[in-house]
Amino acid sequence: MTGGVAEAERRGGPQVANATCPGCGAQVDPLRAGHVAIFDDQFKYFCGWGCRERYLAGQGVAQDAAAPHQERLMTMRDAGTSTRADPLGSTVDPGGRVSSAPWTEYVEPLEEVDADAIVPAKSRSDTGTLLLLSATVLGVLAVALALVGTSTWMLTARLLVAVAGAGLLVARSIVVPGDPSDPHPAAIHGPGLLAAAVAVWARVTGNEVADEAAVLTGLFVVSAGAAMQLVEQVRRPSQIAVAAYQETLDVPARRVVPGGYSIVAASTLRPGEELLIDAGETVPADVLISAGDATVLRWSGARSATHKQPGDAMVAGARVISGRLRATVTWTGMDRAWLRSTADPVRAAHIHSTIARNARWTVERWALAGGALAGLAAFVNGLPTARVVLATAAAHASIASFAIAAVPAALVLRGVVQLLDHGVCYRDAVAWDRAAHATAMVFVARGTLLLGEPQVAEIVGLGDCTIEKLLSLAAGAETAAADAIALSVHRAARDRGVEADAVRSPTVVPGLGVTAVTSNGEALCVGSRALMLREHVSMARVESKLAELEALGRTVLMVAVGGRLIGFVGLQDGLRTGARAAVQHLLDARVEAVLLSGDARETCEAIARSLDIEHVRPEVLPADRAGEIRRMAESGATVAVVGRPGADDAALAAADVALAMDAAGSTIGEWAVTLAGDDVRDAARAVVGARRTRRQAQTSFVIAVAPGIAASLAIAFGLLPPAYSPLAVLLGAIGASLYARGTDEAGRAGQGSSGQI
């Protein structure tokens, strides 16, 4: 077996023998060829672009003369850094099965990266950094020159340096596009430009405020430049993470076409199209699996793999470890789960959340009010016009600090990115806001805190009813149901070799059980206490036994024939891994945990005691759960509900914050929060993390704005000269950035010491 085949088998992907590079003659693994081209309807596998050039030169083929129908380029990114070509693939038969039979492939040209466009973008970033540093240096120099002397030449030099610094800051805002969460540049640079204009006017007219205005301009430049640098250090890690997400998702896709597949860019995909995904490949869009099965890492950065099968959803960025899938695209572009609340300028939480928007409005709007108040006070006190303008600019600058708006936004983005590492996706900024305000979290018990896979723990027959007969009748009735309890009863009957009774006319009563007619023509009821009461079946003689089973947290399935109870089945459902930790995490954050279930009160209370849950809503049928959720909300609580799409749609739809487990990437409902996994601890993180991030953003806002407000008021009432305004801005920026770094380090230390909650 060749090296290429062996490596392919080891990776669990398609198998193909090595090929010879036409450019240099070296052996190339087609799965990892640096460049692949089609000439005269034949694949050519090259080591890289240079070998392709040598091949063309040797054949006497002009590169520009290669027509699109003669050459179609195919490049695929592998593991984020290397490139490979995938000349093998799968065909899809009419039945939807994925096979590795021979195929006919059509390869569409991928969107090529324009290297000339990358260089200017990098140059703009470098230029922006240089302009920011230069402006800050000039601002410091303008202030330092005040200590040298007061000669005419020195005053002129100081003025020119200060004005140049202000101009460089303005140039940077033009050259480097700001983040959408940033306040408008006019709010940040306006006071400095106004002070510079006063300084120039005063120098030309010989006004005595020329020196003071020049120094104030230099201080404005220093404080603004320093604040921007501090903010960049705070938000750079999160911005890098978002850029990494976008790069990870920007991978070629294998779109199903008649007779095979075509390789296209992820940006060209549309909802409803079908893809083929093999081992080692990254999912380019949110998808719903239609055929095949595979072991996958569920999201970019996931630490554990899981098995996926038809009907399951996957998010863009998931990676197939082994197996082969066919999937239908559900979301593309900025609609993909990982980009909605991070990179989409229309929905991103750090742009449109309440705290980020209010912080930005403080800088853009309320700072004007502070400046106007100071100017009015200076005018009333009879100060000269030039000093009135300087007082207005200083008070405005005290509140129009870049850090006031940018640090809270950076903390929100950091919080969203940290939760993405756990597979938690917010639909938009509104969903994040709602999660941050949640005061109660309702767990729809089965499938969230409980495994949702109950096992038959005890079978009790009454009178002359044998266990086999009881199980046969229960299995026969449960044939009409498809829930976890029905599956458990069928499994128990199969394990004991019991054949289900051929019942007739089965009718499922949602949340209660099943009514039917036995093969002997007698009325049959299989279900809960509530169903027995509705059908007027007496349970008095077994009440003590039922209470005993329910006190153990077991679900009791009763069987009645002809209006008489003949026995019951006790089912035990285990707690999900992390259920206790999830509840404790909520309690620590002062979020009320509520258990909602259709089981009897004693059963629910037994489960709640094991989890330290105080509030229980038992015996609530699926049809009544939406009303129960609304009643909780009417009491003043902001209710988050954790459930599974399909089974718990009614409860999720009634919630203020709907958290759908294992639903990220699907089209089933537009829930506020979707989880890429099924770990209940991630559901708790979605609420607690948003609450914590909101609190941190609010604290950073107060730290950043408090010195500025104090300085603005002091300047307005003549208690401090305008020169103190930039110092207040700098103090607020330093305090907010130190707080942001401290909370980040504390969070990392907490994760390291406590591990996964």
Does the pLDDT at position 105 exceed 60? Answer: no
The ranges of the chain annotated as CATH 3.40.1110.10 are 455-572
The ranges of the chain annotated as CATH 3.40.50.1000 are 423-447+591-678
∠ at Cα 23 (45, 17), nearest 5°? 35
Q: Pick 260 or 88 by higher pLDDT.
A: 260
State which amino acid sits at residue 26: A
Does the pLDDT at position 540 exceed 50? Answer: yes
Give 365's contacts (C-beta < 8 A, 6+ positions apart).
Answer: none
Q: Residue ranges of the alpha helices (H) in 286-442?
A: 337-340, 349-352, 354-361, 367-380, 385-399, 402-420, 429-437
pLDDT band, residue 239 (cuts 50/70/90):
very high
Q: Rounded to the nearest 5°, which phi and psi values hold at 306?
A: -145, 165
Give 746's contacts (C-beta < 8 A, 6+ positions apart).
Answer: none
Give 103's contacts (C-beta < 8 A, 6+ positions apart).
Answer: 89, 90, 91, 259, 260, 261
Give 522's contacts (C-beta < 8 A, 6+ positions apart).
Answer: 561, 562
Contact assessment for residue 11 and residue 279, using Cβ atoms and an 8 Å cutoff: yes
Q: How far is CA 278 from CA 15, 301, 312, 317, 617, in A?
A: 12, 19, 16, 14, 45
Contact assessment for residue 308 and residue 676, using Cβ atoms and an 8 Å cutoff: no
Flag whether the pTM goes above 0.85. no
Q: Mind listing the pLDDT tens digit for each residue in 260-284? A: 889 899 999 999 999 999 998 999 9
Give 693's contacts (C-beta < 8 A, 6+ positions apart).
Answer: 411, 412, 414, 415, 416, 436
pLDDT band, residue 533 (cuts 50/70/90):
very high
CATH node for 455-572: 3.40.1110.10
Beta strand ranges found along 298-347 (DSSP E): 305-308, 313-314, 319-331
Q: Mind listing the pLDDT tens digit for each residue in 725-742? A: 999 999 999 999 999 999
Q: Mind listing the pLDDT tens digit for each residue in 424-479? A: 999 999 999 999 999 999 999 888 999 888 999 999 999 889 999 999 999 999 99
State which amino acid sits at residue 363: V
Does the pLDDT at position 72 exceed 80? Answer: no
Q: What is the pLDDT of residue 31?
A: 61
Could you please state the CATH topology (level 3) that the domain comprising 423-447+591-678 is classified under.
Answer: Rossmann fold (3.40.50)
What mean pLDDT comes out for the span 239-244? 92
Does the pLDDT at position 100 exceed 70? Answer: no
CA 250, CA 618: separation in Å to the nearest integer?
A: 47
Q: Mind listing the pLDDT tens digit for each residue in 680-719? A: 999 999 999 999 999 999 999 999 999 999 999 999 888 8
Q: What is the pLDDT of residue 424?
A: 96
- Count of residues for the chain? 757
Q: Mind listing the pLDDT tens digit for each residue in 575-628? A: 999 999 999 999 999 999 999 999 999 999 999 999 999 999 999 998 899 999
CA 596, CA 621: separation in Å to the nearest integer?
A: 10
Q: What is the pLDDT of residue 350?
A: 96
